[in-house]
Chain A
Amino acid sequence: MREKLNVLHIALLLFMIESDVAVFILPRLTAANFGTNGWLGFIALSLVAAFNIFMYRIVYRMGGGRSVFDIAEAAAPRAVLYPFYAALALLWLGLGAFIGKTYVLIFQMLSFQNSQPMLIYVLYCVLVLTLLTKSLYSIAKASTVFFFMASWLVLLLPYFFKSWSAVRFTTSFFQGAVEGHHLGGFLEVFAAFIGYELCMFLFPHTDAKSKLFTGVFVGHFLFTAVNLLAMVMCFGFFSFEEIKRLEFPIIYMHEFVELSFLNRVDSLVYPFFSFYSLISTVMFGYAALKSIGRMLPKVSDRRLALPVTGAIFLLGFIPSIFREAGTWLKLVFTIETGVAFGMPLILIVMLKLGKKAKGA
């Protein structure tokens, strides 16, 4: 019998999927898009995401734990579905690639100004490959380890209290957003949560004992809580107008840490964040791999890992400067947000149709 995921693994895996490069810039994104006390907007969006997760839970319940592919194929002919699989696979490959490349571009800017970013990206892709050749169970275990390897960063928090002041929060709410309030801005912040929808790929790896959605919700709210904490620290540590201008507030906050045996902790901290991006890329790669695998039932997943990673690597060539990476990330995240909300609706309709087809 295949091993099933347990609730802790699911929670931490989900936390790691949701965390990616966006965490460095979240305080700025919330300040710029929501305005003063923008961190409250983050809570609101977290609840929206939670509602979306709840929709997946309905799918899980209605489908009785069947994989989403089974649900879809019970309701529609494969010929119709395959183009969608292909399109989704491309989208997920793009997400994985652009998240990874953006991470590398930031890393390069901070520490390896004279390195070829694609060289760093190759190494990143090698890590992606080694994880993709393993089963989902191993990916989940690896992400649990990564989670604990990066979790010590929380210990640095008390360091900022001395320079923290509630006065800087201001008492106004949602004022002074850079371009006013608009949907595009909210989507930009919402992108931080994107990744939870991959819980649909966990369906076949769980049973009743796994408590899949308990894990997913715990992971999601853990992510919300950790980022909220970071944001609250940031809003009292920097001034509001400053946060709107700082490219990577979280990284500058780490620059402030000075221990008697070590200063400029930021350059030590940043590589640890690679785990977050790595697991996001791996899981989007995994989603793409599953979709492609569904179209090529004769090819084993292991043999698909290399071409999938290859595609992630090649897509990494597309954005070569920050602006491009930002534009591409925004594009794929926006589409993915649409997919994340549309998918459960379509699946619910398909489940109804599938039932009817069976009944007839």
Chain B
Amino acid sequence: MRAAKGIGILLIAAMLGGCTDQKVLEKIGFTRTIFIDSADGDKDKINVTISIPKTNQSESIVYSNVARTFKQAKVYFDMQNDRRVVLGQLRQILFGGNLARKGVWPHLESIFRDPSVGIRTHVILLEGDIDKLSTRKYTQGGTMGEYLDNLVRTDPTSRGVYDTSIHTFLRDYYDDGIEPLANIIKGTANGLMVDGVALFVGDRYVAKVPSDDAMYFAMLRANLKYGTLVMEEVDTAKESVPASLSNVVSKRSIRIKSVPDRRSGKPAEAVLELKIRGSLLEYYGHESLNVAANQRSLEVAMEKYVGGRCERLIRLMQAAHSDAIGFGQRVRNKMDYQSWKRLNWSEEFPRADIKVSIDLDIKDFGSLAES
């Protein structure tokens, strides 16, 4: 019995020892946003800014420093902050354009290596002055971090198809048949704005898909649900008019007709098929839409318009050598491992012959069937 008591006391002592690893909420500064850009003047250094929201949720503490690595900068933040700076609640990593063009990898890796950082943390390209943006008051409510988090998550320009996070970035960065993406955000007069999608080759930012094209790009990248396709000029035989489809559901499939042939130098051939269905909720034309033939000719005209825009996007990606859609993955899956490894896909991709085939159906015409 005495032995049992002794063990009990020892155990209590041991468990109390566990209290050394305290995490008192009031003594911790939860970093919500990290911004990294290359430092002016010194090509080896980076400019790191972090933002820690205050408990009132409407203000945040902002620190910044120039250092060689993220952790080196963090030491300096720890020196100033009255609470321990931790990354467990990190929501977004923002990269400045200059750094992103040189490559984000070692810095992104340095942050991900910390086990407290979640793979859902957004990876975003920021255009604009971080000092101003991070301390500004937003009428949309909350701090920059919170606003940005909600904005990227629901990204109306693409219906959140590329809610780019550490997970998606790492996944596509490591994969050899696809390139990673990042949302681009910029500051405007009354807030922040989604400014398109950054295309990468490896970890380097190489080209930008403008936000007007984001929805079209979203359809190329993945299946889309509840999107809106705004078409500026749909060319029917008689007129060229604006129209738009809402509640768009699109299904994408990629067919690889042939893989690149080294001997004959023939490039890869692929067809990207889109099945699009949506409600016509805007139509500035004069054709009567309750005539079936007119409906069909409008659909054909829209198919042509959408196809044209999609092809333009693919040319943009090819010119940048950035296969952000994953044609390479499918080409890889049609080849044996050794031949694929010998192939340099980012060199081969621009040469690939990629066609887009659109099958568009107008599901309904909204409240005005009779026109």
Report if B27 contacts A (CB, 8 A).
Answer: no
Interface locus among B131-139, B168-176, B201-209: B168-176
A-B contacts at CB below 8 angstroms, number: 76
Contacts of B26 in A (CB 8 A): none
B21 at interface, CB cutoff 8 A? yes
B255 is an interface residue with CB less than 8 A from chain A: no
Asked if A171 is at the interface of the complex by the 8 Å CB criterion, the answer is: yes
Alpha-carbon gap, A81 to B97, bound state (A): 71
By the criterion CB–CB under 8 Å, are A119 and B18 in contact? yes
Find chain A residues with CB under 8 A from B167 CB: 163, 252, 256
Residues of B within 8 Å of A240, CB to CB, are 174-175
**Interface of chain A residues 104 through 158 with chain B (CB within 8 A):** 109-110, 112-116, 119-120, 122-123, 126
| Distance, CA A240 to CA B340, complexed state (A) | 14
Give complex CA distance A317, B328 in Å.
Answer: 49
A170–B176 Cα gap in the complex (Å)?
11
Report B305 CB to chain A, min CB distance, Å. Answer: 29
Contact partner of B336 among A122, A172, A252, CB < 8 A?
A172
B118–A119 touching, CB < 8 Å: no
CA–CA, A36 and B302, complex, Å: 42
Nearest CB of chain A from residue B178's CB, rounded to whole Å: 8
The number of chain A residues touching the other chain, given as a range, is 35 or more
By the criterion CB–CB under 8 Å, are A114 and B21 in contact?
yes
Q: Supply 18 A–B pairs (Cβ within 8 Å), ascending by A.
A: A112-B18, A113-B21, A116-B17, A163-B167, A167-B333, A171-B333, A172-B336, A172-B337, A172-B340, A175-B338, A238-B171, A239-B174, A241-B176, A242-B171, A242-B175, A245-B174, A252-B119, A264-B118
Is B11 an interface residue, CB under 8 A from the partner? yes
Q: From residue 157 to 187 of chain B, which have CB atoms closer than 8 A to chain A?
A: 167, 170-176, 178
| Complex CA distance for A249 and B151, rounded to whole angstroms | 29
B-contact bits for A234-275, CB 8 A (1 contact / 0 none): 000111111001000000100110100001101000000000
Instruction: Please give, as numbers and ranges, the residues of chain A lying within 8 Å of B332 by CB-CB distance.
Output: 170-171
Whether the pair B174, A115 counts as a contact (CB closer than 8 A) is no
The answer, among A167, A241, A256, for a CB contact under 8 Å with B119, is A256
Neighbouring B residues of A256 by C-beta, 8 Å:
119-120, 167
Given contacts A172-B337, A176-B337, A238-B171, contact A115 B18 (CB under 8 A): yes
- Given A167-B326, A170-B332, verify A123-B14 contact (CB < 8 Å): yes
| A168 in contact (CB, < 8 A) | yes
Q: Is the CB of B20 within 8 A of A115?
A: yes
A36-B118 Cα distance, complex, nearest whole Å: 26
CA distance A168 to B328 in the complex (A): 11
Does B330 reach chain A (CB closer than 8 Å)?
A: yes
Residue B88 contacts which of A242, A252, A264 (CB distance < 8 angstroms)? A264
CB contact between B337 and one of A113, A115, A126, A175 (< 8 Å): that residue = A175
Residues of A within 8 A of B174 (CB): 238-242, 245
Closest B residue to A108 by CB, please name it: B21
> Residues of B contacting A242 with CB < 8 Å?
170-171, 173-175
Shortest B268–chain A CB gap in Å is 16
Q: Give the chain B neighbours of A36 by CB distance below 8 A.
A: 337
CA distance A241 to B173 in the complex (A): 9
What's the nearest-Cβ distance from chain A to residue B3, in Å?
A: 9
Please determine whether A255 and B120 come into contact, CB atoms closer than 8 angstroms.
Answer: yes
**Closest chain A residue, CB of each to CB of B334:** A171
* Closest chain A CB from B118 CB (angstroms): 5
In the A-B complex, list the 4 residue pairs whose CB atoms are closest, starting with the nearest: A239-B175, A175-B337, A242-B174, A172-B337
Contacts of B176 in A (CB 8 A): 241
Q: Shortest beta-carbon distance, A119 to chain B, in Å?
A: 5
Q: What would 9 more interface pairs be, CB under 8 Å, given A112-B21, A167-B329, A172-B340?
A: A109-B115, A114-B21, A115-B20, A168-B175, A237-B171, A239-B178, A241-B174, A242-B174, A263-B118
Q: How far is the CA of A11 from the CA of B119 in the complex (A)?
A: 35
Near A by CB (< 8 A), chain B positions 1-36 give 11, 14-15, 17-18, 20-21
Contacts of B175 in A (CB 8 A): 168, 239-242
Instruction: Say whether B18 contacts A120, CB under 8 Å.
Output: yes
Please judge, given known A-B contacts A114-B20, A264-B118, whether A239 and B336 are in contact too, CB under 8 Å.
no
A122 contacts B14, C-beta separation under 8 Å: yes
- CB of B120 within 8 A of CB of A170, answer no
Contacts of A258 in B (CB 8 A): 120
| B contact residues around A237 at 8 Å (CB) | 171
- List the B side residues contacting A126 at CB < 8 Å: 11
- What's the Cα separation between A243 and B360 when bound, in Å? 38
Closest to A265 in B: B118
Instruction: Give A122 to B18 CA distance when docked, in angstroms.
Output: 11
A238 and B118 alpha carbons, distance in the complex (Å)? 15
Which residues of chain A (162-183) have a CB below 8 Å from chain B? 163, 167-168, 170-172, 175-176
Q: Are B17 and A119 in contact (CB under 8 A)?
A: yes
A34 smallest CB distance to B (angstroms): 13
Q: Are B333 and A255 in contact (CB under 8 A)?
A: no
For residue A89, give the distance in angstroms from its CB to the closest CB of chain B.
23
Residues facing A in B307-342 (CB within 8 A) are 326, 329-330, 332-334, 336-338, 340
Q: Most B CB atoms within 10 A — which of A116, A167, A258?
A: A167
Which chain B residue has the least Cβ–Cβ distance from A129? B7
In Å, the complex CA distance between A168 and B21 comes to: 40
B337→A255 contact, CB < 8 A: no
A73 to chain B, nearest CB (A): 34
User: With A and B bound together, what is the CA distance between A245 and B113 in angstroms?
Assistant: 11
Expressed in whole angstroms, the minimum distance between the Cβ of B7 and any Cβ of chain A is 9
Q: Residue among B11, B118, B336 with the most chain A CB within 10 A? A: B118
Cα of A24 to Cα of B243 in the assembled complex, Å: 52
Please name all residues of chain A whose beta carbon is closer than 8 Å to the beta carbon of B337 when the two chains form the complex.
36, 170, 172, 175-176
